[in-house]
Amino acid sequence: MFKRLRQAMGEGGPTVETVLADSDCRPGGQLAGRMRVTGGDHPVDVSYLALSLVTRVEVESADGAYDTDQEFGRQQVTGSFRLAPGQRHDVPFRFPVPWQTPLTDLCGQRLPGMTMGLRTELEVARAVDQGDLDPVAVRPLPAQESLLDALLRLGFRFAGAAVERGHLYGVRQDLPFYQEIEFDPAPRYADTVHQLELTFVTDPQRVEVILELDKRGGPRTEGRDNFGRFTVDHATAHTHDWTPHLTSWLHNSLP
């Protein structure tokens, strides 16, 4: 009876470990690796193995703002299978990274405020075991890099990033959240710009770029943030120079 109770509670049950071939990826790419399942001290029927990405999101509510873990891109990797005591079962996988996955690393550095991990899920007898998160680095696509490089050339500096739950008006989002990458102003704009916020909304063909210019307070600027929206195709990203477009937009947006 004691042994059956331990089994029902999951003690002595199977364990699962995910080993990534490479923890770096890009939106629209893949994460490859193996899920290593090891049987416990009694035979079990595994219902499935699944993978998902998890990031930290900010949520606005009537009671204020709070942070929570957000799962997305979940994929079931296997169906059911029998696992004998001590048996090892390796499952190779290729996990598709959603196109609108937030970026975590820019210019070789982790963006302050960003977390991302790949979670393994195993179900036995309707009991779900969610394993530890394997850290993942999401780097920009060439189309995204071209705009980021232009901002850096203009003198803007990375300040941090946040993922917010919600939807942007007039934008087709596949995920229930969006990322804002924050920049401190270039020296030439320091007197009029408090911060620049950048959001990428990506699909297999193009990247839509949403910019929000947070102006410094004053009689002419207070409450008058400016927004810009641009689009670049993946196929032409390598030939696109964002610098003149951004310079023109900034000139027209500022007093």
pLDDT tens, position by position, 69-103: 999 999 999 999 999 999 999 999 999 999 999 99
CA 84 to chain centre: 37
Question: Are residues 206 and 179 part of one domain?
Answer: yes
Q: Give the model's pLDDT for residue 73.
A: 97
Write down the residue that tokens 């703002």 correspond to: 65
Question: Are residues 122 and 149 part of one domain?
Answer: no
Are residues 158 and 148 in contact, defined by beta-carbon separation less than 8 angstroms? no
Helices (H), the chain: 2-8, 142-153, 243-253
Question: Are residues 246 and 207 part of one domain?
Answer: yes
Question: Are residues 246 and 161 part of one domain?
Answer: yes
Q: At what angle do helices 243-253 and 142-153 cross, to 10 degrees?
A: 60
Comparing 41-45, 47-51, 204-208, which segment has the lowest mean pLDDT?
A: 41-45
Percent of the chain with pLDDT over 70: 90
What Å distances lie between residue 247 and 155, 179, 220, 251, CA to CA?
Answer: 11, 23, 21, 6
Give me the half-sphere count of Cα atoms (radius 13 Å) on the Cβ side of residue 219.
0
Average pLDDT, the chain: 88
How far, in Å, CA of 30 to CA of 97, rounded? Answer: 5
CATH of the domain at 32: 2.60.40.640
Number of structural domains (the chain) is 2
Instruction: Print the domain residue range for 177.
Output: 142-253
**DSSP letters spanning 26-84:** -TT-EEEEEEEEE--SS-EEEEEEEEEEEEEEEEEETTEEEEEEEEEEEEE----EEE-
Q: Residue 41: count other Cβ atoms within 10 Å of its Cβ.
A: 13
- What residues does 122 pair with on adjacent strands? 49, 129
Domain boundary among 103, 138, 173: 138
Amino acid found at 54: V
pLDDT 10s digits, 163-185? 999 999 888 899 999 999 999 99
Question: Are residues 13 and 108 part of one domain?
Answer: yes
Domain boundary among 118, 138, 158: 138
Nearest residue to 131 (alpha-carbon basis) of 17, 253, 246: 17
Q: Provide the whole-model pTM.
A: 0.88
Question: Are residues 181 and 161 part of one domain?
Answer: yes
Question: Are residues 198 and 170 part of one domain?
Answer: yes
CA 16 to chain centre: 24
pLDDT confidence tier of residue 60, bands split at 50, 70 and 90: confident
Nearby residues of 172 by Cβ (< 8 Å), 6 or more positions away: 201, 203
Q: Are strands 137-138 and 24-25 parallel, antiparallel or unpaired?
A: parallel
pLDDT 10s digits, 190-208? 989 999 999 999 999 999 9
Domain boundary among 138, 165, 200: 138
Q: Give the model's pLDDT for residue 107.
A: 82
pLDDT confidence tier of residue 6, bands split at 50, 70 and 90: very low
Q: Give the model's pLDDT for residue 215.
A: 87
Question: Are residues 249 and 205 part of one domain?
Answer: yes
Question: Are residues 62 and 174 part of one domain?
Answer: no
Amino acid found at 184: D
Question: Are residues 150 and 125 part of one domain?
Answer: no
Q: Residue 187: count other Cβ atoms within 10 Å of its Cβ.
A: 10
pLDDT 10s digits, 214-249? 987 654 444 567 899 989 899 988 788 889 989 999
Q: Give the model's pLDDT for residue 218.
A: 53
Question: Are residues 128 and 80 part of one domain?
Answer: yes
